Each structure stands twice: as C-alpha cells, then as structure tokens.
C-alpha cells in the first residue's frame, strides 16, 4: 500500500466540545507550517456531548480532518491504538485534545525525527493548573512504575509523542487488551529521545481521567510490564510464615516451661484479622493477573467503529 501522507496527528477525544475547534485551529496552523501533507485523525471515544457534531463540521470544512467514532467509550489508550491502526503517515504524532500538550512542540519533534530518531517523546518538566493530588499521584505512579518494570519507561512522560512508521507497524502487531501504550512504545525500542516541555493547563473543560480511570491505567501499566508484585507477595509470604513459625516456637516453650497462662484473646484476633487481610490482598493480586489472562483469551476486538468520516479511499488496512 502506498500513501502520500507525510504526517498523521492522532487526537483522542472524549467529551471535549469546549476545546475541539481551538484544538483544530492550533493543530492545522502548526501542521501547515511543515509544508508537507498531513492528516488530523480525531478519535471520538464515545462522547456524549456535541463533540461528534463539531467533528462532522470540521470534516466538511477541511479534507485533512478525519473523524472516527467509537460505538461507546473504550478508553483513552484504545482510542490512541485505533488512531495508530488507521494512520497512514510516515511519522505519527499523538496529542491530547485539551491543549495541555502544546501543538507547537510538534515542529521540534519533527526536527528530531528528521535527525533519525524513531521515537520522540515529550517529557514534562512542569505541570500547570493541575490539583496537588493529581501531581502527587502522577509523580508517585511514574516512579513506582519505573522501579517495578524491566522495560525502561521514562518518568513524567505522557502519550504526547512522535513515532516513526516502523514503530507504528510494530505497535499494530500488539493487540493486548489492557493497554499501556507508552510502555509498549518503550518496549519496541529503536532510537528514542526526549524533548522537555511545560505541561499547560487544560484549555477548557475538566479532566476526563477520574480516579477510577487513573487507577485502572496504573494497574494496567504495572501488570503489563512486571511480575514483580507477584514476587513481592511471595517474599512477604515467606517473611510472615517465618515470623509466625518463630512465634509458634515461643508459644510452645512458654506453654511447656512456664506457669504463666496467657489470656491472648486480643492477640489471636488481631493476628487472624491481619493474616486474612494479607491473604485477600494476595488473592486480589492473583485475580488482577488472571483477569487479564481471561481478557486475552476472549480475544475480542479492541474497539468498534460506528462511523469514519473522510476515510481515505486508499485505506486498505483492516482493524482487528
Ligand atoms: N480521553 C479519551 N477517553 C477517555 C478519557 C480521556 O479519549 O475515556 C481523552 C481526552 O479527551 C483527552 C485525553 O484522552 O484528549 C487525555 O485526557 P485528560 O486530558 O482528561 O487527562 P489528564 O490530562 O487530566 O490526565
Ligand atoms: Mg489533559
């Protein structure tokens, strides 16, 4: 398949009616400065506001815009994946819709790409306009992830990045159900480099990442790239078993050699509660991994597209 598109910009969209027009304006402004062909692929991840109508409007105005509509909300990471499946460019850029990632940085990414890097990611040196809670959880998450996994996933780096066609082709072969895209990109390898930037405040609207989605993302990230939580569970199990065994010996000695009767009710109850708690944590941990195996075994499609506007004619690709 040959396509003459040089750059593909992928924009995941979930209820972003307030920002979409501005995002489009800024992006097309930046992309036209490249003096090369480009496509802007907006992936509407099951929005329930006016996003769909706005995208339809943009598609009629500008043939460089494509809008892909999911049948429901499949999640940010899946939306990015769909974008990569559909992108035709030689370089693919992923950017959030809310303008927290400045589109102007794309030009710098393209420079790096032309120098020969296959992955150019944007590393946040500052974050503006986000709650202290979000900053703290993000900081902890990235560092925990870095320690836990064997793949070097750069800290403080979101999905804002440029990838070369060769990396994109590899990504398309990875059909994992519970995806952490930036981890997969790191896993692929090739020459990767970073550009530092300051993360802006959202241009409008509110975060579409409530605590629940953040938790899901972090658990996906860790379980996709590491068995270490399972190992830690084993170590802790040994430690506790060792501790309990020593205590047992102590109790036996006491019973055999001393007259002191131990009332002991409180200590027994607290030990039972404690060990039960630990047990349930480990069971839950096993469940997380087994649930993911279950997800893979069903091998359902990652997403369902209900409409694709301005779909390129030469698009021979299938989505699986
Ligand atoms: N998003 C999405 N599906 C979702 C949640 C978010 O496509 O289920 C998009 C959202 O529209 C935005 C990007 O993912 O373009 C990042 O989301 P957001 O800005 O809300 O996250 P934050 O920057 O607060 O972490
Ligand atoms: Mg955001």
Could you read off the pLDDT of 219-276 as tens digits, one per residue? 888 888 777 788 788 788 788 878 887 888 887 787 778 766 666 777 777 778 778 8
Cβ-based neighbours of 271, under 8 Å, separated by 6 or more: 244
Spatial distance between the Cα atoms of 311 and 284, rounded to a whole number of angstroms = 43
65 and 59 Cβ atoms separated by less than 8 Å: yes
Ranges 11-20, 21-30, 192-201: which has the least confidence: 192-201
Q: Report the pLDDT averaged over residues 294-302.
A: 84
Give the DSSP H or E segment for 240. helix 228-257
- From residue 110, give the alpha-carbon distance in Å to each of 33, 90, 154, 164: 11, 11, 20, 10
Rg (CA), the chain: 25
Q: Report the pLDDT averaged over residues 86-97.
A: 94
Res 3: pLDDT:
65
Spatial distance between the Cα atoms of 37 and 6, rounded to a whole number of angstroms = 5
75 ligand 1 Cβ < 6 A: yes
Percent of the residues in the chain that have a pLDDT greater than 70, as a whole number: 95
Res 315: pLDDT:
57
Q: Which atom of ligand 1 is nearest to the CA of 16?
A: 11
Spatial distance between the Cα atoms of 231 and 229, rounded to a whole number of angstroms = 5
Closest-lying ligand to the alpha carbon of 14? 1
ipTM of the modeled complex: 0.93
Res 261: pLDDT:
60
73 ligand 1 Cβ < 6 A: yes
Query: Two tokens at 313?
Result: 């004619």
Q: Report the pLDDT averaged over residues 199-214.
A: 79
CA 112 to chain centre: 23
20 ligand 1 Cβ < 6 A: no
**Of 36, 128, 62, 30, which Cα lies nearest the Cα of 310?**
62
Kindly report the number of other CB atoms within 10 A of residue 160's CB atom. 25
Residue 192 predicted with pLDDT over 70:
yes
Pocket test of ligand 1: the residue of 9, 11, 12 to mutate, having most ligand atoms within 8 Å of its CB, is 12
Judging by beta carbons within 10 Å of its beta carbon (0-12, 13-18, 19+), is residue 270 exposed, middle or buried?
A: exposed
Neighbours of ion ligand 2 (CB under 5 A): 98, 100
């Amino acid at each position: 398949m040959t396509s003459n598109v040089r750059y593909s910009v992928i924009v995941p969209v979930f209820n972003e009616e307030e920002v979409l027009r501005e995002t489009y304006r800024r992006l097309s402004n930046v992309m036209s400065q490249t003096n090369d062909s480009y496509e802007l692929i907006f992936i509407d991840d099951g929005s329930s506001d006016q996003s769909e109508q706005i995208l339809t409007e943009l598609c009629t105005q500008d043939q460089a815009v494509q809008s892909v509509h999911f049948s429901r909300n499949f999640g940010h990471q899946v939306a990015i994946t769909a974008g990569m499946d559909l992108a035709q460019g030689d370089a693919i850029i992923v950017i959030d819709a809310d303008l927290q990632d400045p589109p102007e940085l794309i030009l710098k990414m393209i420079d790096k790409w032309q120098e020969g890097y296959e992955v150019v990611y944007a590393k946040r040196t500052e974050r503006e306009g986000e709650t202290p809670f979000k900053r703290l959880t993000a900081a902890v998450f990235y560092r925990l992830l870095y320690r836990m996994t064997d793949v070097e996933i750069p800290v403080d780096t979101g999905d804002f990045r440029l990838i070369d066609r060769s990396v994109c082709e590899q990504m398309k072969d990875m059909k994992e159900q519970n995806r952490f895209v930036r981890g997969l990109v790191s896993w692929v390898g090739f020459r990767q480099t970073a550009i530092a930037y300051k993360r802006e405040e959202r241009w409008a609207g509110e975060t579409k990442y409530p605590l629940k989605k953040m938790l899901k993302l972090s658990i996906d990230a860790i379980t996709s790239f590491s068995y270490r939580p399972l190992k830690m569970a084993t170590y802790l199990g040994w430690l506790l078993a060792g501790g309990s065994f020593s205590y047992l010996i102590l109790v036996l000695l006491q019973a055999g050699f001393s007259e002191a009767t131990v009332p002991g009710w409180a200590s027994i109850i607290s030990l039972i509660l404690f060990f039960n708690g630990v047990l349930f944590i480990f069971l839950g941990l096993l469940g997380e991994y087994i649930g993911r195996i279950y997800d893979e075994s069903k091998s359902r499609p990652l997403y369902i597209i209900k409409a694709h506007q301005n779909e390129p004619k030469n698009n021979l690709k299938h989505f699986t």
